[in-house]
């Protein structure tokens, strides 16, 4: 059975899979004519004396599908699919801009790695540099640096500092 996947009525959806079943899970909708996207990164894995380049999902337990909302229920009769990501039990589509922003580096020669999701206002700890182990809040997110607020709550004063993305981690 081929499903209606024309671009006017189709959107990108995130599908939650069983752990380590992403590659297998994406094949089921593909066989039914559905476009899938599984961002992969190559990692050098080291065992005792052996090294091997292995492919791992960029976002473990997630695949993306491009399909019409009306066709979603018919596609995922797979034991490896846990659920379709949504809000209040209803599937929620991903904006084309966000999907494209992930596809571009994956389909290029650029080096990319997963990074914890950090939102404005979220508490973070600085892991490297002169501010190592300092806790602050994200004020602004920029391309390579974030502005972190370091506060003294008792006197209601704070200082902002620019920190490299690689040097912070969410709490």
Rounded to the nearest 5 degrees, what angle is found at the Cα of 161, between the Cα atoms of 155 and 166?
130
Q: Of the candidates 90, 94, 95, 96, which has an alpha carbon nearest to the alpha carbon of residue 73?
A: 90
Residue 131 neighbours by CB distance under 10 Å: 17
| Domain 10-106: homologous superfamily in CATH | NusG, N-terminal domain (3.30.70.940)
Instruction: Order across the sheet with 168-170: list the strands.
Output: 157-164, 145-152, 135-141, 123-126, 168-170
Distance CA 116, CA 34 (A): 29
pLDDT at 30: 66
Residue ranges in the chain whose pLDDT is less than 50:
1-5
Segments making up each domain of the chain, as ranges: 10-106, 123-170
Q: The tokens 């752990």 sit on which residue? A: 19
pLDDT at 77: 63
pLDDT at 4: 45
Quick: pLDDT tens for 117-161. Answer: 778 888 889 888 888 888 888 888 776 777 887 776 666 677 778
Eight-state DSSP code of residue 154: G
pLDDT at 45: 87
């Amino acid at each position: 059975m081929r499903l209606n996947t024309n671009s006017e009525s189709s959107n990108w959806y995130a599908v939650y899979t069983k752990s380590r079943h992403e590659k297998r899970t994406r094949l089921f909708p593909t066989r039914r004519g559905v476009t899938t996207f599984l961002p992969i990164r190559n990692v050098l894995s080291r065992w005792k004396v052996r090294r091997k380049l292995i492919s791992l999902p960029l976002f473990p337990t997630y695949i993306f599908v491009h399909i019409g909302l009306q066709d979603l229920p018919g596609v995922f009769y797979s034991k490896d699919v846990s659920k379709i990501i949504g809000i209040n039990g209803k599937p929620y589509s991903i904006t084309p801009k966000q999907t494209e922003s992930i596809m571009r580096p994956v389909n290029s020669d650029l080096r990319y790695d997963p990074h914890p999701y950090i939102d404005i206002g979220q508490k973070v700890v600085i892991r490297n540099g002169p501010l190592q182990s300092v806790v602050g809040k994200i004020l602004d997110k920029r391309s390579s640096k974030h502005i972190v607020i370091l506060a003294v709550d008792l006197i209601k004063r704070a200082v902002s500092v620019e920190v490299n993305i690689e040097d912070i981690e969410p709490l």
